[in-house]
Amino acid sequence: MVEAILEGFRVGAARVPGRPIVLRFLATAMRQADRAGEIADLALRHRDAGVVGFDIAGPEAGYPPGRFADVFERLVHASFHLTLHAGEGYGLPSIREALDLGAERLGHGVRIVDDITVDSAGQATLGRLAAYVRDRRIPLELCPTSNVHSGAAASIAGHPFGLLRQLRFRVTVNTDNRLMSDVSLSREFAALEAAFGLGLDEVEWLTLNAMKSAFLPFDERLTLITQTIKPGFAALRREQSEAAGPSVRG
């Protein structure tokens, strides 16, 4: 199955000449199953073919990732990238445990807001864990639409995305499960723009956050940033400027 998906990546990436699509694979084990070691072996076997990281998903409550500590230790020792679903359906202990096990990114991580207090004047104070996550630039793989569907947030407008972006956490925008949530990344951004008034500069910042956090070699990330992402946003700004037309001065 992994080899079939990777072959699909190769075919799709080459389909549009001059506009290559860069695709990579995360191998994900489920908390409620006892196959993390098998999935880890699968990921390591295909690490040079496009599998770039290991993830663990599924219900947080009652299924702590620490039960697979030996698997994570083996992957860290193999210098393999880790992202763990944590801090969606469960709170700060899930986030703390994920970091202790070697997670480089937090799948969801939205409950980090439980370690942030905002006073009546709007002044935010970060607890030790929240400050650690922000200071270390640990990426939060936020999935607003999925969070609304799962009950982790009441609405897009009420999602902690707004606070976390204002506090300059390493926020990224993700779809989680496109099938179950019936959402695309474009629609995810559109919903956030409607709720929070994102401008093009913020959309670019969020996109750069994602690429800086990607499980790709540094030179590949830098090339995509300088040759694709930044020129692409510059072109969008030119289009916006041309569509607005010349300004009229009295």
Q: Is 3 a catalytic residue?
A: no
Catalytic option among 7, 60, 88, 141: 88
Measured between alpha carbons, how far is 151 from 184 in angstroms, rounded to an integer?
Answer: 19
Give the single-character DSSP code of 17. Answer: T
Measured between alpha carbons, how far is 141 from 205 in angstroms, rounded to an integer?
Answer: 14
User: Torsion-angle region of residue 127: left (phi > 0), alpha (psi -120 to 50) or beta?
Assistant: beta
Are 39 and 14 contacting, i.e. CB atoms less than 8 angstroms apart? no
Residue 30 backbone dihedrals phi, psi, to 5 degrees: -105, 135
Sign of CA dihedral 49, 50, 56, 57: negative
Collapse the DSSP code of 91 into the 3-class scheme (helix H, G, I; strand E, B; otherwise coil) and give the result.
coil
Q: HSE of 240 in the Cβ direction (CA atoms, 13 Å)? A: 9
**What tokens were used for 167?**
């506090």
Paired residues of 27 in beta bridges: 54
Paired residues of 140 in beta bridges: 106, 171
The 10 Å Cβ neighbour count of residue 228 is: 14
The 10 Å Cβ neighbour count of residue 174 is: 20
Measured between alpha carbons, how far is 8 from 132 in angstroms, rounded to an integer?
Answer: 39
Measured between alpha carbons, how far is 97 from 142 in angstroms, rounded to an integer?
Answer: 18
Residue positions annotated with a catalytic role: 88
